[in-house]
């Protein structure tokens, strides 16, 4: 429950009541968090805290830990949960909502923008569907580390402020311990918020919801007569670029349901995600996704499909004439393939250090990806290694050839790649700098996350801190941390992750 003890409440400065909360019912309901037994601050993001105006003393205070655990309210605010629906694995589920999440505060950040703070794993809500409202330590560690790792990679994402653990037992497949993550974003609205009211035929409720989102997150559209079309066009464009961002670093989300897609274009909800180790274009990171709906090569198409569901839900906003609304929505959706294709091709060009755009770029790029796929070469290491290629001799790319299985195809491709670089007048040193700025040395591989989880379950939280620090500089080679850039040991190459959390 929210227990505000007056003795030390002023240690944490009052926050704003989230502006989303002012919409009231039927969008949100006040819901108290549920106290977590013996909470322990396992890690706190001091850099994000500073952006939010929270100093180190505040972040280490007992009052802050209690707030992050859900054991007290943030002064000046009341916790709420929101309702939404969603297409899960392609099937419409009419009522989902924040089943274990509470929106607890809004803070004006140093950049002047507002940030919503939400606890995940903070107890049951009216949308829990008979679940316990808790999150377990292993999934909370993964979300905490990955959301900040994605931010450091330059990929739009929710952030993570704090990770709190507890010995309180939680039953999943086995008995595990509880944890709470505090995630931070300008807005946590999802595609599913709009779908919920559309499929309930409560179309009048779409307008206040969309107006709130536009006025707070897209103020440049607020005064336009086509404000809804402008917002939806921007969300489609952001989603297309986000899919390209994911593909470029080998990130697989694992559960791309519409209720897990952000209405402002962020990576949202870290569940059974995974970064590809041995490249397989059909890689499935969620072992419960038996049909491969959310496999690596399907992600762009699912992003497109999800946008179609959002546009469907927003038809009543686009025009009072249903036919005209469909025409507007179709025109917006039809931009997705070109937006994605352009963004993706540019990201591959950047990863290969190509300074010019040419008509045969996609053929050159696809040949290289095919070589990696045929031999299941390590995705991250392969792109990182090719930056060391000397374009002016015939020696193999240092550190890459041993990753390749099909050497005949590789050698032919390398010859063409070198010829391309020479034709551009490429300076190898400058190219290497550019490539290393977009090809990470470190990503949150599953075996690294699992090592941190295993240690934490034994009471050692040092690996969480070590990984968190390492992943803040993913593009920099960090002496002494070479093991974190290595491919997984054979016994750890097939760690399976599911939706259970």
pLDDT of residue 448: 97
pLDDT of residue 283: 95
Average pLDDT of the segment spanning 482-489: 94
| 77 touches 17 (CB < 8 A) | yes
Catalytic residue among 259, 277, 373, 378: 259
**Model confidence pLDDT, tens digit, residues 216-245:** 999 999 999 999 999 999 999 999 999 999
What is the DSSP annotation of 371-394?
Answer: HHHHHT-BHHHHHHHGGG--TTS-
Average pLDDT of the segment spanning 263-283: 96
Average pLDDT of the segment spanning 196-208: 98
Average pLDDT of the segment spanning 341-346: 98
Cα dihedral value 42, 47, 52, 56, nearest 10: 60
pLDDT of residue 455: 98
| 350 touches 379 (CB < 8 A) | no
| 206 touches 197 (CB < 8 A) | yes
Average pLDDT of the segment spanning 328-335: 98
**Model confidence pLDDT, tens digit, residues 115-127:** 999 999 999 999 9
**Model confidence pLDDT, tens digit, residues 354-382:** 999 999 999 999 999 999 999 999 999 99
Give the pLDDT band of residue 501 (cuts 50, 70, 90): low
* Longest alpha-carbon distance in the chain: 73
Residue 133 has pLDDT above 50, yes or no: yes
More confident residue, 17 or 1: 17
CA angle 451, 183, 123 (to 5 degrees): 90
| 116 touches 159 (CB < 8 A) | no
Residue 83 has pLDDT above 90, yes or no: yes
**Model confidence pLDDT, tens digit, residues 142-192:** 999 999 999 999 999 999 999 999 999 999 889 999 999 999 999 999 999
Q: How far is CA 166 from CA 85, 118, 177, 268, in A?
A: 30, 18, 6, 24
Burial (0-12, 13-18, 19+ Cβ within 10 Å), 67: buried
289 catalytically annotated:
no
**Model confidence pLDDT, tens digit, residues 19-38:** 999 999 999 999 999 999 99
What residue segments make up the domains of the chain, in order of their start?
9-188, 192-344
More confident residue, 305 or 403: 305
Q: 330: number of CA atoms within 13 Å, CB side? A: 6
């Amino acid at each position: 429950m929210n227990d505000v003890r007056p003795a030390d409440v002023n240690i944490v400065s009052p926050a704003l009541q989230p502006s989303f909360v002012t919409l009231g019912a039927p969008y949100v309901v006040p819901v108290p968090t549920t106290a977590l037994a013996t909470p322990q601050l396992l890690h706190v993001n001091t850099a994000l805290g500073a952006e939010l105006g929270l100093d180190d003393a505040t972040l280490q205070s007992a009052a802050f830990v209690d707030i992050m655990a859900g054991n007290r309210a943030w002064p000046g605010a009341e916790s709420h949960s929101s309702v939404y629906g969603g297409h899960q694995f392609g099937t419409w589920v009419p009522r989902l909502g924040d089943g274990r999440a509470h929106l607890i505060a809004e803070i004006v950040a140093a950049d002047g923008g507002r940030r919503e703070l939400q606890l995940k794993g903070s107890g049951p809500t009216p949308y829990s569907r008979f679940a316990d409202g808790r999150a377990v330590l292993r999934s909370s560690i993964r979300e905490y580390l990955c959301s900040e790792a994605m931010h450091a990679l330059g990929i739009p994402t929710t952030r993570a402020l704090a990770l709190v653990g507890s010995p309180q037992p939680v039953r999943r497949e086995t008995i595990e311990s509880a944890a709470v993550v505090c995630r931070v974003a300008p807005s946590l609205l999802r595609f599913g918020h709009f779908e919920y009211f559309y499929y309930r035929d409560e179309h009048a409720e779409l307008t206040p919801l969309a107006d709130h989102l536009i006025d707070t997150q897209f103020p440049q559209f607020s005064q336009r007569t086509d404000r809804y079309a402008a917002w939806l066009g921007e969300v489609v464009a952001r989603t297309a670029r986000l899919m390209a961002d994911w593909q470029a670093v080998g990130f697989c989300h694992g559960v791309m349901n519409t209720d897990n897609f952000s209405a402002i274009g962020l990576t949202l909800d870290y569940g059974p995600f995974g970064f590809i180790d041995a490249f397989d274009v059909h890689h499935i990171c969620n072992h419960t996704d038996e049909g491969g709906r959310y496999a690596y090569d399907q992600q762009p198409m699912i992003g497109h499909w999800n946008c179609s569901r959002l546009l469907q839900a927003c038809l009543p906003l686009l025009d009072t004439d249903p036919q005209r609304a469909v025409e507007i929505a179709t025109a917006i959706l039809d931009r997705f393939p070109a937006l994605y294709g352009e963004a993706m091709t540019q990201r591959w060009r950047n990863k290969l250090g190509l300074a010019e755009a040419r008509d045969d770029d996609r053929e050159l790029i696809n040949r290289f990806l095919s070589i990696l796929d045929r031999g299941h070469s390590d995705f991250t290491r392969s792109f990182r290694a090719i930056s060391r290629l000397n374009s002016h001799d015939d020696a193999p790319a240092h550190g890459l050839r041993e990753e390749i299985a099909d050497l005949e195809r590789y050698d032919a491709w390398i010859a063409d790649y070198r010829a391309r670089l020479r034709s551009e007048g490429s300076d190898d040193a400058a190219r290497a700098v550019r490539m290393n700025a977009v090809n990470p040395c470190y990503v949150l591989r599953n075996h690294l996350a699992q090592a941190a989880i295993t240690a934490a379950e034994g009471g050692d939280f040092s690996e969480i801190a070590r990984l968190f620090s390492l992943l803040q500089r993913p593009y920099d080679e960090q002496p002494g941390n070479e093991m974190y850039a290595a491919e997984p040991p054979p016994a750890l190459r097939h760690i399976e992750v599911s939706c259970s959390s």
